[in-house]
Structure formats: C-alpha cells, structure tokens
Chains A and B, each alone.
Chain A
Amino acid sequence: MTRYVLRRLVLAIPTLFGIVVIVFVLVHLAPGSPVSGGGEALRRPTGRAAEELRRLYGLDRPIPERFGAWVSRAVRFDLGESFVDRRPVGERIREALPHTLLLNGVALILALVIAVPLGVVAGGHPEGALDRVSGVALFALYSTPTFWMALLLQSLFSVQLGWLPLYGVASDPAPSGLAGLVDRLAHVALPATCLAYGTLAFVARLVRSGIAETREADYVLAARARGASRRRALWTHAFPNAILPLLTLFGLLLPALLSGSVIVERIFAWPGLGRLFFDSILARDYPVILGLSLLSAVATLGATLVSDIASAAADPRVRDGTAT
C-alpha cells in the first residue's frame, strides 16, 4: 500500500509540471496583453508608455526565461504580484477563497444530501414510477442553463416573494451571532442552489445506476434469502458497493470546490475565485491566472490521489493492479 501511494505521488510531479507548462505557454501565446487592460480602461498606454509597461511586467523577456523565473518563485510558494493592483497573488486568492469554499461547500452538501437518497430509492425500483419521474426531472435539471436558473430564482425568491437576498455574501451592516449565521446562509442559498442542481442530477443518476446494478448481485440476493428486509438489503448490502464509483467521482467534485463559477458569482455579486479568474483573464493578469491554475491543478491532482488511495484501500484489486 505504501509503495502504491509513493508511486502515485512521484507520478503526480511530472503531471503537475506538464499542466503548469501548458497553462504558462497558452496564457502567454493568447492574443492580447496586460498592457491593453480591460475594456473599461479610461485611457490605454500607447507608444513609449506601453513599452515601459511591458518592461515593467517583464514581457520584454523571452518566454522560457519568464517561465524559469516564475517556477523558481512558485516552488518557494511565491506566486508573484498581480499586474493589476501590484498586490501579492497569494493575498488576492486568500481573499476570494473563503467565499468560494463556502458557496461550493454548501452547494456540494446540498447536492449530495438530495442526490444520494434519491438515487438509492430510484435505483431500488428501476423503471418504477419514482425512477421514471425523477429521471425525466433530473435530465431537465441537468440541461437547464445556470444563468437562466439564477435569474429565475432571483425573480421568484428575491423580487416576487422577497424571502431571500438578491446578491452578496452578507447584509450591510451584517448582524452578529446567530442572526449573522442565518444571514450568511440566506445569502448563500440561491447561488448554492444554482451550483448544486447540475451536480445533483449527475450524482443521483450515478448512484441510481450503481444501485440498480448491485441490487441484483448475488450477495444482495443472499442477504434477502437470509431474511433481510428489502430496505436493509438495499442500504447495508447494495449501497456500500454501489458507492465505490462515487469515491472516484469525489476526485472530480472536490477540486470543483475551489473552481468558482463565473456566471453564478457574477450574477449574485459573489466575490469568489470564479470572478477573480474571469477578471484576470480579461485583464491578461498573468500572475493571477497562473496562480489560480496552479491552485486548481494541485487540488485536482490531490483529490484524484486521495480518491485513488481510498479506492485502493477499499478494493485490493486496485492496489495490486489486478482490477479489470
């Protein structure tokens, strides 16, 4: 097992390096430059001033040299300074990170809490009424565009009913104590719902198909033969086996916690990583783009590693390399 973990860790390093190289090259080869600024610039530097700016940003140096400088800083956990406001990239990410973690964490919990029981119940009676209805509903949800859902939810819950806040992370001024917590949760409700429903549909269908397969398995039939109730057979015998693919899925879902959603964060004026990423791309703020890409690459690799190790721990065939 230790050898397996070590092997995976060692393999992760060239993967990470590959990702970083590709992102670095793509970012620098894309048309446009940090000197042009965003479309909102009052005046753009031109001529000599633009050349000076390019030098200031180090853009006059060849790409390999820039890459070397960036890597040598990055391995020391220094992501450099934003071109836009000259603040450390780490500081800008740290400011936005908690907002995105909260939003995506709530969205993920919301999705799982609904999706798993729904999937189990639907998979327990494949082709039953609930399975059919939920199947159609989930596909409809999965294919609903987020921006449309966001505007719809805002219209209904904030404008028409006035139950939930329209935008932002907290009221101004924010109440303290329990009222403050309720206020934060009220603010997160709509954007989290927007982020959750797609995942929900996806996870529910995955659980459902796992359950539908395993409910016919010999060990489940054996449990039933020994007198276990249908419900017990489903939850204690079929479910743990059906959940295995979910472990792999977690490898994909967890890094999503860090990757903000541009659309949802923009519509709900949520100051998270998605907006930071989007704005940085528009402004060609290379250090911030690279910092955020590195963060999500590390998160993806880390989560994949953890889910692989969890699968290996749960299934000897995986770590022996004998899985078929």
Chain B
Amino acid sequence: MRRAWAAFTVLVLAAACRGRSEAPSARADVARSGSPPSSSTPALAALDAASEGTPVAVDGGTLQRRLLGEPTSLNAVLQTSLPEAQVLQYVQRNLFDFDAALHLVPGLAASMQVSPDGREYVITLRPEAVWEDGKPVTADDAVFTIRKIADPGIPAPVFQSLYDGLERVEALDSRRFRTVFREAYAFREMAFVMPVLPAHRFEGRDFRKAPDNRAPLSSGPYRVAAWKSGESVELARNPAYWGPRGHFDRIVLRIAPDNTTAYRMLLAGDLDEDQMDATLKARAESEPRFSDCCRLVEFYTLDWSYVALNNRSPFFEDARVRRALTMLSDRAAAARDLYRGSARVISGPWAPDSPAYDASLPPLPFDPAAAKALLAEAGWRDSDGDGTLDRDGRKFAFDLTVPAGFETGRQVSEMLAAELAHAGVTARVRTLEWAAFIERVDAGEFEAASLAWSAVDPNPDPYPYWHSSQCPPHGLNNGCYRNPEADRLMEEARRELDPSKRTALFHRLQRIFRDDAPAIFLVNSTQKFGFDRAVRGVTTSPLGLSGIWPGPVGWFMEPIPRASTSVKRPAA
C-alpha cells in the first residue's frame, strides 16, 4: 500500500503513472474497472455507442494531453509528481509494469526468478532492448539505477521506500542482475516496477544536474523533442525503439494549470484529454458543445478519502468514540450529494477494487442514536446542559483540519461538522495551506484531518500506515493507531507469500479496522476525464489512465473527419 497523499481533488486524485510494458495494440476500446456510477450513464452510453465494433488502430496524428504543472526533472529516478510521470511513461520503459488488471507484465525485463527464501531476485533483461543511441540496455544500467535509488544522498522519493531493505545488488552478466534484500516481503516484486537509467550518460557527471535530466536518453517508444519551460513538452517517435511503435507521430503535453482553461482548451481542440472535477463534469454533461466534440470517461480507481483521527488525543483514544463519529457521518448522503453519485462508501483503508478489500463487509451504519449511546458509554455526556458533550470538565470540541484547495474534502468536513453538532460534538473546520498542513499531519500534531489517498501502485500493505511501530514522527501512521491484534496480522500479511492466505488476513484486518475505526473511512470516488471523441484505445484501470502499460501509449486517433478539429487528424 504505497500511496501518495492527495491534496487537490482534481489536481491530484490522478493516480501516478509508473506503468509501462508490452505491445501497444488495437484493443477493445474501453475496459472499465468498477461499475460506473449511475449519474454518468448517458455519457457512458454515448461512449459505448461510439466504440461499437472493435476499432482498428491507426498510426499518425498528434495527441495533445494536459500537464497540471511543469515537470521538475525528466530523470526517472528523481521524479516526484504526476507531470514527470506523464511524460516519462512515453520515454522510459520500466523493468516491469502493471497491466489494466493490475498484473505484473514484463517491460525492459524479460523474466524474474525468486529464491525459495524470497530474498533474492534474479532479473533477466530483454536482449533486444536498446537505448535511443543504439547501445543495449544492460544489467550494469539496472544496477546503477538501483544503487542511485538506494543512495540516501539522492532524492528519489517515488522509489526509495521500495528499496528500504536492500542488502546488495550486482550484475551477473550483461543481461542479468541479482538483487538481495534483507528479508522476504510479500509485495517485493513491486519494487521492480521501476525505470532504468543509462549509466554511460551519467559517468563523471553530477547525477542531480546531468544534461539527461532535461533531455533523457529514451528507452521507450518516444523521445523528448522539445521542452518549452512553462509551456509544453513535445515528444516524437524514438526511431531506435525496440518494441512495437506507438500510434501517434507526435505527442504534445501542454502545461495548463487552470481547470476551466483546460476544459475550454478541450472544447477548442487544443487538448484531446483533460481530467475534470465534479463541477466541470456536471457542466460537461449539460453542455451540447461538450457532447459535440467530446466524451466523458469515468471510472473508479484505488483512491479513497478519510478523516484521520489522532488516536493519541484524549478525544479519540477510545475506539467507541471513533466508531460513534463514523456512525454520526451520513457517508451515503455525502456520496450522493457532494460527490454527485460518483462515490461509494468504504468500510476500511482500501478501495473496493483493491484485492485486499472485502466487499461483503458492510461499512458501519449511519445511526446517530446508537452513536450517542456509544459516546455516553465512553463517558461523554452533556453534564452542564450547554448542548456540548463533556467529560471530566473537558468539552468535546476539536479542530478538523483541511488542506487548502481540497474542495470536496472541505465540503465533506463541513457536512460532518454539522452532523456532529447534532450529537453535541464540536468540530471546528480549519483550512491550512498544503505544505503547512502536511507538516503537521506527518508530525502527528493534529486532532482530526481530512485526507485522501491516491494510489501509485496496487500494493495493499497497511503496515506503513497503521502499524503501531510507524507512529510519528518517523512513520506514516499519522493518527498513531495501536492494536496488538492488528499489528500481528499486518506483520503476518507482509510475510505471507500465498496470495489467497494473504487476502484472508486482509479481510480479517478490514473487520478490525472497521470496528476499531482508527479513522473515519469515507468514500472511494471516481476519476473523470473529458476525451476528444476521436481518441480511441483508451483503457481505464484502478490505477487511473496512466498508471498502467500500455495505458496512453496504446491510444490512437480514429480518422473521423470533423469540422471543428479536423486539422489535427491524420489523413484518412
């Protein structure tokens, strides 16, 4: 369960894209994961109608995608945020990738062998894999990359934690290398969903400032043709690419920070794809201008939101109180009214599409009466008759912190505060700028905080986030949840190499998480994209559009001449 913190609903709920592998090929148009929410039925119906019959992939044309901001570095090891990942997916192949069904598929690597004790991995690279300059991709390149990732002096936040237990890595011959970890770990193979850098380009250079960080040597189907600071990144085909070629001749990734502008760019044909928030989605559904040019693609991912409760606070140390707060929250109403139907209530720290999630376990009910009884049982009563609960002279009033720009999170928090007020609990909703917010959350200096997870990979391991050894300031168990039984199950799941036994452990954990309510688990919501109607081959996945292989590399443009945007279509 390696995940990213998500701040801004639209800006960030996009999952990371570290996925790539295998042949871009003509495939069924849209494989939706999760059932689409009912409110978007008309748009999705249109999508299905448009994809009747399997489209045949056509080569040529230009794809225009949106970047939310300037990529910081095109050195795959140094990447930190979504814009880099979006560009790098075309330029740098990974050793392995996730496919749309979240299975590991080979990329630069051809195979992986694991020692019986689960500590040693021998990986064999594809013999045909070459760099843009014609040199082969070697085991030395992979060893160089892993050593850079594991080097504490190199800021590699996306990959560093994957190599925490690394003992040594060594090349066996030009195509094979061995990685040895200190101990076996059930999700270890996900460490190899990582890029490989060309060692020969960094020799004698400062790794953090090498020219390749702006103009990387490609191992993927495209290469960087131009990077105009603050404006766009342009990609052209990599003529030396060893795999099946991508369909577009050219890909332009335009930096468009503003959502409304980006939406208008989509309508004007200046973008072919744009991620939207719930407000813009509602607007798109009612605007003929949108349906004339574009279609909506909406699907569930592994992202989910919750209100973290500081279990060390005198308010939230009692599980009965935490459970009561969850039961005071009408999460179904939030999903219906605030998420406009594009969300489902969850009962634990996973999204329903995660392999760890037990869909048969219902969330705690919305039941204010039972919740009040639980609060009374825990000693919280309105002894002075002022309408607010108290215990030992302390009023039940706490700060609920929301990061600025996380609009849905703020709305959900306001709604929760109103619901709690009915039960005599005061939640003061406070907005904090992101960097200030996350510093406090990491340090465990908060009472309650509105948060969302954005899935970077499908690893469901709850250990880093809920194990008692991971409390702040050094771990990510921000609320410092402690339960010896849960601790034991989490430790066991990390060691359990049999997937079905592991799933059983996660299901037991989910029941504990639900009943212990270390946090108020809220909903799993959808990602929404507007697409130019001519873009085909779009595959969605629980990791989003981009977190998989081939993902966007498999998209192509159907040669339908249309008046408004015909200029960028390839010749029929």
Contact = CB atoms under 8 A, between A and B. Distances in A.
Interface of A: 30-33, 36-49, 52-53, 56, 84-87, 92, 95-96, 99, 151, 154, 158-159, 166-169, 172, 266-272, 275-276, 279, 282-284
B161 A43 contact: yes
A159 B267 contact: yes
A86 B254 CA distance: 22
B80 interface: yes
A36 B456 contact: no
B85 to A, nearest CB: 7
A52 B152 contact: yes
Contact of B475 (A47, A158, A172, A282): A47
Contacts of A283: 435
Closest 8 interchain pairs by CB? A271-B230, A32-B435, A39-B7, A31-B436, A40-B81, A52-B152, A45-B157, A39-B434
Pick from B70, B229, B439, B440 the residue with the most CB of A within 10 Å: B229
Contacts of B256: 167, 269
A167 B270 contact: yes
B103 interface: no
Interface of B: 2-8, 11-12, 16, 18, 68-70, 72-73, 79-83, 85, 152-153, 155, 157-158, 160-161, 208-209, 213, 228-232, 252, 254-258, 260-261, 264-265, 267-268, 270, 403, 405, 433-440, 442, 454, 456, 474-476
Contact of A39 (B11, B213, B231): B11
A246 to B, nearest CB: 33
A52 B80 contact: no
Nearest to B81: A40
Nearest to B434: A39
A86 B437 CA distance: 25
A87 B229 CA distance: 12
B153 A269 contact: no
Contacts of B7: 38-40
B161 A32 contact: no
Contacts of A40: 7-8, 11-12, 68-69, 81-83
Given A42-B79, A46-B476, A266-B257, A37 B270 contact: no
B4 A42 contact: yes
A96 B403 CA distance: 29
Question: Chain A: interface secondary structure?
Answer: loop
Contacts of A275: 230, 257
Given A31-B436, A40-B12, A86-B208, A166 B264 contact: yes
5 contacts: A42-B456, A46-B476, A53-B155, A99-B230, A168-B231
Contacts of A38: 7, 69, 81, 434-435
A31 B440 contact: yes
A111 B3 CA distance: 49
Contact of B439 (A36, A52, A272): A36
A282 B264 CA distance: 26
Contacts of B16: 42
A154 B72 CA distance: 29
Contacts of B475: 46-47
Nearest to A51: B152
Contact of B264 (A52, A154, A172, A272): A154
Given A31-B436, A42-B157, A95 B230 contact: yes
Given A31-B439, A159-B268, A271-B229, A43 B2 contact: yes
Contacts of A96: 229-230
A169 B231 contact: yes
Contacts of B3: 43
Nearest to A170: B231
Contact of A154 (B5, B261, B403, B442): B261
B73 A85 contact: yes
B72 A39 contact: no
Contacts of A271: 228-231, 255
A45 B264 contact: no
B2 to A, nearest CB: 7
